[in-house]
A and B are shown apart, each in its own frame.
Chain A
């Protein structure tokens, strides 16, 4: 599941070739500054498009993520119903007025779902980012310095890798006030070790490469070597670790919110599930209340997972599943017998 060292090269290549291609197309005329900016934006967009369509899994995955990001950004503009407004129309099944019915407070489930996207998505990405920052710092610094620093960092990493994060988060969060930031911080503090371990292993193998030796001989400071020389070479692993972590964090935050640790004043998919479970949605059969939030979490998670597996396939061509390759391999096997 981890990208092999081959991955930075293959991704870099596509990144390099994409702007080159776009540049070739738009190089004939850039008279004013505005059009220069436009063409640069166009080049960037085309580069991104090429990256996104390079592999089918990456394409579907980034499509799903883009959809949820758009909903998070634009959703509040489209929704005109106040999601917190109580009405007398309780537990109504879906109609044209309430696309996903109402809950036990008569609140519109669809607008809650759309507005909840923003909270769930932003907290997942922010916490994922925080986790990756911790993983990168611990993994790269430990892997680069080696010796006592590495021993200490590895020990802490391995110890926290063993401690199950969700139960620890549950017990920790009960002592503190119920704000989403508390949950995010606790989830971040309990989820960093896996990424740190992967990055440490990679840094360990990078440490003795020539470019690092050269940088050291050139008198660069250690922290600069770590974050400006080694780190860019591990970006694909960092990206993969960010995506995996974001899935975990999305699930962990939703899980804690489901248990009632969430901030009851904000709407998110997790707090919606909490409300549905405790509001008797199951007994009344209000499937429109508890099915959509979980489905959204699973879909967003699938999008992220697809992106990750797609990146894996780009990095390791053996993982790509298409028939001709296998036939050729089979054929090769037979030929080997004949000769």
Chain B
């Protein structure tokens, strides 16, 4: 329990730190972000001078408030879920943009990450069990290549070779907007699923290597433990020893690794979404960057950090279930 409270305070601090960095960045940066954003807005349509004042308040330019007051106002806005107005989707608020795009990202991310983790861990177990075999050599060397592949590059390859050349799957947007519209219809869900295949495949292929290699190493170490030998000596079948004795214990480092890697997976997913013009928050972030839409980018950063923290928390809880040792008070 103490461990959990400690972790919770770290997560809380992480969110606070991110919020604070987010507050100070535009104030430390050279130039006038408010004017840039205002100029963007003027291209879109007529804007009142009041909007400029609002923008200046947001970025801390030309205000008479002290830094403290600005900070408190900023926190107050955040707590009320007010992330500012997006200049890209003017006059839609950042919150509304995120609300619209988040389900896409969440669905894609959860499915591909879970599949990749399960598949990678399973492959790691098998490869460690048969280490030195042709399968091990082949898979391990392929995986070392994919371990260091650039997410958006793999996405480009998938778009071009599988989507464009072979034409097996659609390679842009989240659904076919000409034949279907979002809703709970089979046509829409089918189309959405079809469009999610390539992005999901990209994420799975570029993250599976990490899980497999981690699991392989940890499994090999576990396989030399005495209790595995004991299980074999008792005459238990290979599958029972492999999964019931070795893999169960070897998976713990992978679970820790999962918590640490989730941040980079989310980052990679954002890049993949951009290449596929997938209607998630990654694509919104990209549009935001291109249009110097600071409010949108900041809002998405906060969301991503909160999401990462929540996923870390889930992994922590899972770890407590998986490893009885962490439930004891003495462990830190």
The chain A residues found within 8 Å of chain B, CB to CB, are 1, 155, 158-168, 170-172, 174-177, 194, 247-248, 250-251, 254-255, 258-260, 273, 276-277, 282, 285, 287, 290-291, 293-294, 297-302, 304-306, 309, 312, 316, 318-319, 321-323, 325-326, 329, 332-333, 336-337
Residue of A nearest to B6 (CB): A158
The chain B residues found within 8 Å of chain A, CB to CB, are 10-11, 13-14, 17-18, 21-22, 25-26, 28-31, 33, 131-132, 136-137, 140, 144-154, 156-157, 159-160, 164-165, 213-214, 217, 220-221, 224, 229, 232-233, 235, 260, 262-264, 266-268, 270-271, 274-275, 285-286, 289-290, 292, 294, 297-298, 300-301, 304-305, 308-309, 312
With A177-B30, A282-B159 as given contacts, are A251 and B148 in contact (CB-CB < 8 Å)?
Answer: yes
With A171-B297, A282-B159, A319-B220 as given contacts, are A163 and B17 in contact (CB-CB < 8 Å)?
Answer: yes
Q: Is the CB of B220 within 8 A of A318?
A: yes
Q: Is the CB of A302 within 8 A of B147?
A: yes
With A162-B11, A163-B18, A174-B292 as given contacts, are A333 and B148 in contact (CB-CB < 8 Å)?
Answer: no
Residue of B nearest to A167 (CB): B304
Q: Which of A158, A171, A305, A316 is B148 in contact with, Cβ under 8 Å?
A: A305
For residue A258, give the distance in angstroms from its CB to the closest CB of chain B.
5
A167 surroundings in chain B (CB, below 8 A): 266-267, 270, 285, 300-301, 304-305
Q: Is the CB of B289 within 8 A of A176?
A: no
Docked pose: A163 CA to B30 CA in angstroms:
24
- State the total of A-B contacts with C-beta under 8 angstroms: 188
From B144, B260, B285, B308, name the one whose CB has the most chain A CB atoms within 10 angstroms.
B144
Q: Which of B10, B18, B270 is A155 in contact with, Cβ under 8 Å?
A: B10
Q: Which of A176, A251, A312 is B30 in contact with, Cβ under 8 Å?
A: A176
Residue of A nearest to B29 (CB): A175
For residue B148, give the distance in angstroms from its CB to the closest CB of chain A.
2
Q: Is the CB of A309 within 8 A of B308?
A: no
SS class of chain A's interface: helix, strand, loop or mixed?
Answer: helix
SS class of chain B's interface: helix, strand, loop or mixed?
Answer: helix
With A164-B266, A291-B157, A312-B217 as given contacts, are A259 and B144 in contact (CB-CB < 8 Å)?
Answer: no
Q: Is the CB of A277 within 8 A of B292?
A: no
B271 surroundings in chain A (CB, below 8 A): 166, 255, 258-259
8 A-B pairs with CB atoms under 8 Å apart are A163-B14, A166-B270, A167-B305, A251-B150, A298-B146, A298-B153, A305-B147, A323-B132
B297 surroundings in chain A (CB, below 8 A): 170-171, 174
Residue of A nearest to B149 (CB): A298
Additional A-B contacts beyond A285-B160, A302-B148 (19; CB < 8 A): A160-B14, A164-B262, A164-B264, A164-B308, A165-B267, A166-B270, A167-B305, A171-B22, A171-B25, A174-B292, A174-B297, A251-B150, A259-B286, A290-B156, A297-B150, A298-B149, A301-B148, A333-B233, A336-B233
Q: Is the CB of B132 within 8 A of A164?
A: no
With A159-B10, A167-B270, A285-B160 as given contacts, are A255 and B152 in contact (CB-CB < 8 Å)?
Answer: yes
